Structure 1
Amino acid sequence: MANVTFSQEPVTLVGNEVKVGDKAPNFTVLSNELKEVTLDNYEGKVKLITAVPSVDTGVCAAETRRFNEEAAKMENVQVLTISMDLPFAQARWCAAEGIENVDTLSDHKDASFGESYGVLMKENRLLARAIFVVDSNNQVTYVEYVPEVTDHPNYEAAIEAAKNAK
């Protein structure tokens, strides 16, 4: 598993580490409308999936805003931001921030995404910061487990990977 810290303290990631070349694991999360969403909902699209602890924190908010801007420039790429935030909080935050190009999804119910992608932090039941690019055939083409959860990911590498995925 990836070695990850949260505020410089080591955390235990629950689930399976995902690697480039893997078939993307399926998952079930909730939309802001409380509807179940799975990887199959994005069939035929490239998926840039970001896992964040909470959109109500500075780095997560900045990351989601950045990917919202970038999503408007990419064709056939769907950006998903998944956190343990409740769907109501995600919807409120997106409305306040003008987020229209990213699907914010909640893993709070079952931690299905967190466990399937190895980003569920055992100590605080939040998701570690990570990015996954999944091509239109559901093959993982890019993975970044951010070593320190409070740091930003490598935006440029993730965006480039999404643009190059087919």
Structure 2
Amino acid sequence: MEKRHGAITFKGNAVTLLGPEVKVGQQAPDFTVLANDLTPVSLADSKGSVRIISVVPSLDTGVCDQQTRRFNEEAGKLPDVKILTISVDLPFAQKRWCGAAGVEQVQTLSDHRELSFGTAYGVAIEELRLLARAVFVVDQNDQVVYVEYVSEATEHPNYEAPILAAQQALGK
């Protein structure tokens, strides 16, 4: 498996990302993660839709909480876009967090079991078994149209750029 040491930092320290760097223009890699009810979810489950995939280390941290709430707010303005938030939090914790935060328009998914998403998209942090903060936009044909690997995992991503990329993928 490809290892990319120093591709990002976590609290100022270089970490190793497992898996290849995903790039704009390539076919989105498939993956299998778990929904909050423990059912498997793959990229194919949302085929034909524009997707914003928001990746966070853990919903129980400040920036991840804010990132997920922000995309939940944006979901109301993007009714034709599916927004997925993926972390390695357990599905039960994700469900509890969504209930407490009032997050209902973003689907939270857990990569805890296999790191399938993390290694396919090059966001699995080897040293911490967490996912690096990133945002991907995948169009209706499963082509990657936007990628951001946040260089410091404790900082916010660009919110406007993936929203614009999703709107452009919809032809708006």
Range class of TM-score, shorter chain: over 0.9
Unaligned 5+ runs, structure 1: none
Determine whether 1:51 maps to 2:55: yes
* 1:22-79 deviations in Å (ceiling 9; x for gaps): 1000000000000000001101100100110000000000000000000111132000
Aligned to 1:22: 26
- Please state whether the residue corresponding to 1:19 is helix, strand or coil: coil
Where does residue 109 of structure 2 map in the other structure?
105
CA distance in 1 between partners of 2:79 and 2:96 (Å): 27
The residue number in structure 2 matching 1:8 is 12
Distance in 1 (CA, whole Å) between partners of 2:45 and 2:77 is 21
Partner of 1:94: 98
Give the partner amino acid of 2:109.
Answer: L
What RMSD over aligned residues (CA atoms) do the two structures have, in Å? 0.9
CA-CA distance at 1:3 after TM superposition: 1.8
The one-letter code of the counterpart of 2:133 is: R
Deviation digits for residues 107-133 of structure 1, max 9, x if unmatched? 000000000000000000000000000
Q: TM-score, normalised by structure 2?
A: 0.95
Return the TM-score normalized by structure 1. 0.98
Q: Report matched runs for 1:1-166 at 5 Å.
A: 1=4, 3-166=7-170
The 2-side partners of 1:151 and 1:74 are apart by 24
CA displacement 1:124-147 (0-9 Å, x = unmatched): 000000000000000000000000
Unaligned ranges ≥5, structure 2: none
Aligned sequence identity (%): 61
Aligned residues: 166
Moved over 6 A (4+): none
Distance 2:79 2:103 in 1: 17
Distance 2:101 2:79 in 1: 23
Alpha-carbon distance between aligned partners in 2 of 1:27 and 1:49, rounded to the nearest angstrom: 12
- Give distance in 2, aligned partners of 1:75 and 1:92: 24
**Corresponding residue SS for 1:60:** helix
SS at match of 1:3: strand
